[in-house]
Every structure is written in structure tokens, then in C-alpha cells.
Amino acid sequence: MTEKRIPQTDVDRFLARLREQATVYAPTKDDAGDVVLGELASGEPVVLEYRNFRLSPKAFLLPQNLTLLHLKDGKAEEPGPTDRRVILFGVRPCDARAILALDQVFLEGGQHDPYYAHLRATSVLISLACERPMSSCFCTSVGGGPGDGAGADVLAVPLDADLLLMPQTPRGEALLSSVADLLQDASPPALKEAQERIHAAEELVAPVKVEDCAPRLRAAYDSPLWEAAGRKCLGCGTCSFLCPTCHCFDITDEVRNGTGRRVRTWDCCAYPLFTLHASGHNPRPTAKERWRQRIMHKFRYAVENCDRPFCVGCGRCIRYCPAGMDLRTVLKEVGA
Amino acid sequence: MSQTQSVQDAASPKTWEPTVVAFLCNWCSYAGADLAGVSRIQYPPNVRIIRVPCSGRINPAFLLRALQNGADAVLVSGCHPGDCHYISGNLAARRKFALLKDLLNFVGIEPERVQFTWVSASEGGRFAAVIEKVVGQARKLGPNKKLVKSL
Amino acid sequence: MTASHDIETRLRETAEGFLGVKKVDLFLGYEKASLPFRTTPVFVTAPEEAGRLAWNPFCAANLAVYLPRLFKAPADAREAKAASPPTVAVVVKGCDARSVVALIQEHQVPREKLVLIGVACPGMVDARKAENVLGDREALGAGEDAGGNIRAVVEDGTEVTLRREQVLADACLECRSPTPVLYDMLLGTPAEPREAGAARRRIAEFESRPPEARWARFRQMVSKCIRCNACRQACPMCYCRDCLLDQARPRWVGAGTDFSDVAIFHLLRAFHMAGRCTECGACARACPMGIDARLLARKLGQEVEDLYGYRPGEAIDATPPLSAFAMDDPQEFLTEP
């Protein structure tokens, strides 16, 4: 695959051309002044200076609110295929990598979720390498990095004046070919500059001890640390809803006199009701069990079953937790 | 909603008719509505009556759900203060209703969408007059668009 | 800084003492968090851990939210045989103490099992406001300087001073109860409430707009909601085991982000806060989307004050307003034919 480059001053033009083939979502400022992955309007300038978005891009593949079935006069109908075409520009490498975890859940191992598959097949991802990781980032400890291209179709790396565009998949290659007239080939010095910048960013990411997390967690199942750490949890749902790999959902019917729909919405294992049985029994009755489950799922069960932790080190759960919980502290304590 | 359908069908296809859901307490307001009927006092057929034991039974969730389901206005009617069959149900409800109305008005929902009144068992005429007023106001406001959830 | 430091020292001494003589089983306070501008709750059970307790401008959380679950009635016989409810010492600021009073009024926590360590509060920093002021620079550490302002150290090592007023939480800027009304011991110097009318002015400004503008503003405000329930979970007054808004049979509110469901979630939750909300701001702090979840509850709180002369969380023997009534309660809202 041939690496390309484009001057950063031409990025708006590049995105405008992409808008001709699909709906483009790119970093823009919302009315509160936050940088979000929003629909790029005609002529709207893209923002390239940001750390990461509050909401992860999983909402594009796993919407908060998705209609699975329409119900009319008691008969069920699946929603038809759409002509959706979406390009996501500016997704950070951690969030792109998270999509591979979602792929494992929804598309592999005998699963084929048609809703997820449709949205996945109609989305092209251009990720943007990080230059300034935050103190809450730890992508390098969970298999990723600020310049990691996994999960993306194209990895864009900011250079001094240019943006390097590195296709990661045939779809990414095809996307770049469609706007080939705007792009130049990337020279070896440009590639070297990209490597150096990525390496410099990697050095800024504080490491977290994740090695052997699965066996360490297995041994620590009955440790008192779960009560001590977990009892602070409010069960607020923020961590799961913002997490790019969390994917648990609930299915409810909204029906009025035989007409309505079946919807899939986000759910959270930290909610007290999450494992409440119809009998009234709850196998995870307190915050301790739920906090333990959360860590176990991400760093033990996922590692044992999917060969990857279900965490990409984006740090959102640490930044936004109103109780100041930090799973890095737990990982450090386990097996210490 | 099938009864609403018949109200709608009776009107010409191009005329929209408001749907008003009325929660009436069994002992006073429902009896008052009954008296209106027995006395052959005409009032608009747009109202769908739900009988509750007492106005104190009303949970604000009922009213919001009715609006969500497509009601264009909601009316709650109970016994006059001092006359509640359960002594103080309507007095407890009065505070809830005052606050609910303030809240909905605060966020910009038209005050005529959610209304409260006292109608006693002997006030058949008054009941009819209340319905006339509420339906008339709902007709002037037009269909409830703000809180309705279309399925 | 000296004032905070003194309070911190006193808190540690008190915790060590109380836990040492087993006057309490648990000392609930704040400790340093892993990110600046924040603290995290700490449940201290051993006297030698008392040194973890901290007191600084980042102690924003309302610890009263953890109390109901400590005193929940046993779910079954096996639980009933377990240890009796603990005696809990909890650090409470003005708003937090009002929450504790409200919880006592509603029989969710027993007064005799609580030791309230009141601290007169100068107002707490909102982490997001502080981060917004720093803009592109990330803070790696933050503390309080001698003048009560916040000194942050950013990535390149430089120090930035943030004026306290600039980064105080919105709830704190409108605070009318900085000094706890109920306490077993009181630390810090009681202060006068800030501008008593700040919240009223904000509500009045919102109400001065025409209805359509109010609706547009409300719509814009709640449209960001992702239905995570953080506002509800962070609220000390939302302790219902089975929340109306989660109920499936019947389902009052859909689970998704349909605007109608989002609007009704917020309207109903605010309604359930009428006469109970103590303006601590935990809801707005918890909201990951930055919605000011306080607005509706504040409006209702004001109505309850004006109509029924009641402010929540002031007296443990007061009757909550919606459990009470008067023959002459105002009824101008009624429809007359």
C-alpha cells in the first residue's frame, strides 16, 4: 500500500471532496466549545488540535438507540437496508483499535449481528495519530499506541506541515485513490519523520502494569481490594457509556396498541439492576461485585476468550468518573 | 386508542379533533360526569375518561405518559378541598399538581395542556362546562407536538 | 491554604481517634485522586489509614450518597443475621449535611448511627471548569495557594494560577448553606452564604423568555442526554431500589434517546426532587455530557419555598412538603369554567 501525503492547509479541501461520496464526520467545535466528532457541514473548517472526544465513535456502529424491529398491527418487520455511507475522520488510534474488539463480539465466533455488520460495512475510518497524550492515557500498555493503525482504514499522522496518510486496509487504499489528485506520494524522509513523532508521543504515555493481568486477576478474585475500591462506585454508567469497547445492551419493546418498535439501547454492568433476576435474586448485589466484574471482563475474561484486553487505554473512565475511580490503581494492586 | 379513532373518523378527514384524557376521582368528579350524562347535558365527545379512586392517586407520570401517547390535553378533576372521600387525598394532590403545572410551564409546555379542577358529584353542569373549556383550548392550541412520542 | 491544611490535620486526628477507640466502624471522607482537580471518596476502617484523608478545594463530592446503602434493610434472613449496621462518621459540607438531614427525615439513615464531621465550606472547584480554563494545556498537579486560589502545574512544568471564583462549581457560586446545619463537630470558620439571590436570578432570567424560547432552550439542554443515569445515581436523594424511570411493567419512560423519553426522564426526576433537592450539584458534576441537571430541580425548590415556605434539609423533624398539606394551600393554578 502506498503512503500518501497532503499539506495540512489542504485538509479542508480533502474533506470537502470526501463529502461528495459520503457523510463525513470530523472534529468540529460544538456550541459549548468542545471538540466533537460531528457531521461536517459544507465549508466548515476541521479542528486538528484536540486530545480526544468525550463520546467514543462506537456510537456510529453501536448506536445508543437502535430500532431492531418495527411492529405494525401486531406484525414485525425488520428495518430495510439503508444507503448509508459514512466516513469518520479524526478518530484516535485507541478508539480505532477498540472497534476490533467490537468486531470480535458482534461479527466473529459464530456471531453475526446484522445491524452492527451493516453499520460497520458502511463506515470508513480515518484515524489521526496523537501527538500529545494525556496523563490518563495508557494505550501503549494494552497493545496500542499513539501511532497505531489497527482498526482504521487509513492512519493519518500529522507532520510538521503535512498530513501523512497511510492506508491500512484495501478500503482505505480505495478511499485514497478516489481523491488521488489531491495527494502526493510520501517520501522516505516523511515516513521517517512520522516514525520519530510517533515514537516521541509513545514516550509520553505512562506505562501501566498489564502483563499477566489474566492470571493475576484470577488469583485475586477473593481479594479484599474489590470491596475497598468498589464501594465508591455510584453505578452511574458513565464509564460504560463513554468506553469505546463496552458493548452491553438492553432490548425493550415500545408498543402502543400493536404498533411500535423493538429497540436496543446501551446498558451498563455497573447498574444495580443489570443482573437482577426475575426471582429477585441478584448475583452481583453490591458495588463490590459489579466493580470486580467490570475489571474481570476487561482484563481477564476478554484476554482468556478473545486474546485481547477489552480496554484500549483511552482514559475516559478515569477522566469522567464522578467518584474518581481509576482502574489503573486496581491493576497495580492486583498481584502486587 | 380505538375510540379516539372513531372520533377522528367521524370528523371529516381534513379536520383534526383534539383528544383530551380526563382522570376523574370516583366519588366526586366521576359522579359529576355521570350526572351530566343522566341530565342529558351535552359536552364535547373528545374526552376519554379514566376513573381513579381519588385525585391523590394521580402520579405525575400518568399525565406525562398520556401526553407522550398523544393526548392533546390532560385534565385531572377531584373533590373540592374538605370534601374528599378519603379526607385529605385531594389536599395532598393539590401540592403535587401546583408543582407539576409550574414545572411544565417553566420548560415551555403550554399551560392549557395539563389542567386541574374540582368538580363535585352534584355539579353535572360544571363538569360539562369544564370539558367545553378544556377541549376548546386544546382545539385552539393544535395537536400536542412537544412531548408526543411517535412510534 | 493554612485553613485547609489545618482542617485536614484535624480530620486525620479525629479519624485516628474515633477508629482507635471504635467510636465508629467507618470514617467516610475524601482522599487524593489520580488526576488533578479531583478527590475520591475514601472509606477508612483502620486508624493507621487515617493519614489518607485529605481536605482541599477539590472535595466536591456529596458523600451522603453512600449512606443509604450502608443502612439498607436486610434483603433476606441470611443478610439479617449478618453484622448490625455500622456506626459511620462522614465528612459533610453545608450541602452534604442538608442531604443527610433530608435522608434522616425520610428514614433512610438512622441519626444515632451517624457521627457528622461538619466542615464549613468555602466552595469547591469544578474540575471541568478548571480544565477548560487551562484550554489546551493539561494539568499534571494542582493545589491551593495561600490566597485560596488554585495553582496548577501543566505539562511543560509551568505553574498557572486559577482564580478561585473562575473555577468554583456553579452550585457553589449559588450556595446558600455553606455551613452545615447538623453536625457532631464543626471544623472551619462558618462563612456567610454567597449571593443569596444568585439562583433566583438565574431562574428569573430563564422565565423571562417567552414559552417557545424556553422550550427551545430546554430542548437544546436535554438533547445531549445519553440516558446514562449518572445524574440520578450521583444524587443522594435518589435511593429508590426500583426507580420509576427504570420500571418495565408498566414502562413509563422508554430507555433510549428519543427526545420525548429524555424530556420526561428529566421532568419526572426533577419532580421527584421537589422539596428534597439540597442543591449540592452532584448531578451536574456527574453528567458526562455537561448538562446542567440542577436547573429544573432548582425551579421546583424555589416554588416549594415560595408556596409552602419549606427548604429541604434544615430540620430533621420537619415534615417533607409533599407529605403535608394545608387547607389554604394556594390553588390559582386551577381551571375554572
Q: Which residues of A touch B65 (CB under 8 A)?
A: none
Q: Which of A164, A185, A203 is the last residue of a domain?
A: A203
Q: Residue A156 has which C-alpha cell?
A: 493519518
Residues A184 and A217 grouped into a single domain: no
Task: Look up residue B84 and give its DSSP letter.
Answer: B
Query: Does residue C287 register a pLDDT over 60?
Result: yes
Instruction: Note whether residue A143 is domain-resident.
Output: yes
Query: Does residue C65 register a pLDDT over 80?
Result: yes
Q: Which residue has the cell 472534529?
A: A27
Residues A8 and A131 grouped into a single domain: yes
Instruction: Note whether residue B151 is domain-resident.
Output: no
ipTM over 0.90: yes
Q: Which residues of A touch B69 (CB under 8 A)?
A: 256
Residue whose C-alpha is closest to residue C97's, from C81, C67, C118 = C118
Asked whether the beta carbons of C221 and C213 are under 8 A apart, the reply is no
Query: Does residue C99 register a pLDDT over 70?
Result: yes
Kindly report which listed range (A332-336, C24-28, C49-53, C161-165) carries the lowest average pLDDT score: A332-336
Cβ pair B126:C337 closer than 8 A:
yes
Mean pLDDT in residue range B99-125: 97
Query: Does residue B1 register a pLDDT over 50?
Result: no
Give A1's strand partners.
Answer: none
To the nearest whole Å, the CA of C126 is away from the closest chain A CA by 11
Instruction: Note whether residue A71 is domain-resident.
Output: no
From B61, B107, B116, residue closest to C335, measured CB to CB: B116
Instruction: Note whether residue C237 is domain-resident.
Output: yes
Instruction: Note whether residue A17 is domain-resident.
Output: yes
Substitution target from B88, B106, B133, B145 for chain C, most C beta carbons within 10 A: B106
Instruction: Note whether residue A306 is domain-resident.
Output: yes
- Total domains in chain A come to 2
pLDDT tens track for C147-175: 889 999 999 999 999 999 999 999 999 99
Instruction: Note whether residue B147 is domain-resident.
Output: no
- Write out residues 13-72 of B within 8 Å (CB-CB) of C: 60-61, 64-65, 68
Chain B residue with minimum CA distance to A259: B151
Instruction: Note whether residue C218 is domain-resident.
Output: yes
Cβ pair A322:C61 closer than 8 A:
yes
Share of chain B above pLDDT 70, in %: 91
Chain B residue with minimum CA distance to A70: B151
Q: Where are the beta strands (DSSP E) in chain A?
A: 4-7, 23-29, 35-39, 65-72, 75-77, 86-91, 123-128, 154-158, 162-167, 184-185, 249-256, 259-266
Residues A173 and A281 grouped into a single domain: no
- Range of C208's domain? 198-322
Cβ pair B108:C212 closer than 8 A:
yes
Kindly report which listed range (A38-42, A56-60, C80-84, C332-336) carries the lowest average pLDDT score: C80-84
From A135, A231, A250, residue closest to C43, measured CB to CB: A231
To the nearest whole Å, the CA of B2 is away from the closest chain A CA by 9
Q: Which residue has the cell 444495580?
A: A272
Q: Which residues of B touch C271 (CB under 8 A)?
A: 60, 99-100, 103
Mean pLDDT in residue range C103-110: 96
Chain C residue with minimum CA distance to B103: C300
Instruction: Note whether residue C210 is domain-resident.
Output: yes
Residues A278 and A303 grouped into a single domain: yes
Distance CA A135, CA A130 (A): 13
Q: Name the residue with higher pLDDT: A48 or C77.
A: A48
Cβ pair B60:C211 closer than 8 A:
no
Burial (Cβ within 10 Å: 0-12, 13-18, ≥19) of residue C67: buried
Residues A266 and A199 grouped into a single domain: no
Cβ pair B108:C214 closer than 8 A:
yes
Q: Where are the beta strands (DSSP E) in chain C?
A: 26-32, 39-44, 88-92, 114-119, 139-144, 150-154, 159-162, 185-187
Instruction: Answer whether 0.80 is exceeded by the pTM.
Output: yes
Type of residue found at C110: P
Distance CA A127, CA A156 (A): 6
To the nearest whole Å, the CA of A63 is away from the closest chain C CA by 10
Kindly state whether B80 is in contact with chain C, defined as any CB-CB distance less than 8 angstroms. Answer: no
Query: Does residue C197 register a pLDDT over 90?
Result: no
Residues A160 and A23 grouped into a single domain: yes
Taking the CA atoms of residue A57, residue A62, residue A64 and residue A67 in that order, the dihedral angle to the nearest 10 degrees is 150
Residues A199 and A230 grouped into a single domain: no
Give B74's strand partners.
Answer: B21, B114
Going by pLDDT thresholds of 50, 70 and 90, the confidence category of residue B10 is low
Cβ pair C325:B91 closer than 8 A:
yes
The alpha helices in A56-143, defined as continuous H runs, are 93-107, 114-121
Distance CA C69, CA A233 (A): 12
The confidence score (pLDDT) of residue A220 equals 95
Per-residue pLDDT of chain A (336 residues; tens, 9 = 90+): 799 999 999 999 999 999 999 999 999 998 888 999 999 998 888 999 999 999 999 999 999 999 999 999 889 999 888 899 999 999 999 999 999 999 999 999 888 999 999 999 999 999 999 999 999 999 999 999 999 999 999 999 999 999 999 999 999 999 999 999 999 999 999 999 999 999 999 999 999 999 899 999 999 999 999 999 999 999 999 999 999 999 999 999 998 888 999 999 999 999 999 999 999 899 999 999 999 999 999 999 999 999 999 999 999 999 999 999 999 999 999 976
Distance CA A23, CA A172 (A): 16
CATH number of A106's domain: 3.40.640
Instruction: Note whether residue A62 is domain-resident.
Output: no
Q: Which residues of B touch C265 (CB under 8 A)?
A: none
Instruction: Note whether residue A61 is domain-resident.
Output: no
Instruction: Note whether residue C126 is domain-resident.
Output: no
Instruction: Note whether residue C283 is domain-resident.
Output: yes
Chain C residue with minimum CA distance to A133: C138
Average pLDDT of the residues of chain C = 94
Q: Which of A203, A230, A249 is the last residue of a domain?
A: A203
Instruction: Note whether residue B146 is domain-resident.
Output: no
Residues A299 and A179 grouped into a single domain: no
Chain B residue with minimum CA distance to A69: B151
Instruction: Note whether residue A69 is domain-resident.
Output: no
Cβ pair C234:A234 closer than 8 A:
yes
Mean pLDDT in residue range C107-133: 95
- Range of B127's domain? 2-6+16-140
- Total domains in chain C come to 1
Instruction: Note whether residue C313 is domain-resident.
Output: yes
- Range of A309's domain? 213-333
Neighbours of chain C (3+ CB pairs under 8 A): A, B
Distance CA A16, CA A36 (A): 18
Q: Which residue has the cell 389536599?
A: B91
Instruction: Note whether residue C211 is domain-resident.
Output: yes
Kindly report which listed range (A73-87, A238-252, C10-24, C38-52) carries the lowest average pLDDT score: A73-87
pLDDT tens track for C247-266: 988 889 999 999 999 999 99
- Total domains in chain B come to 1
Instruction: Note whether residue A64 is domain-resident.
Output: no
Instruction: Note whether residue C279 is domain-resident.
Output: yes
Chain A residue with minimum CA distance to B66: A256
From C212, C270, C308, residue closest to B103, measured CB to CB: C270
From C215, C252, C261, residue closest to B61, measured CB to CB: C252
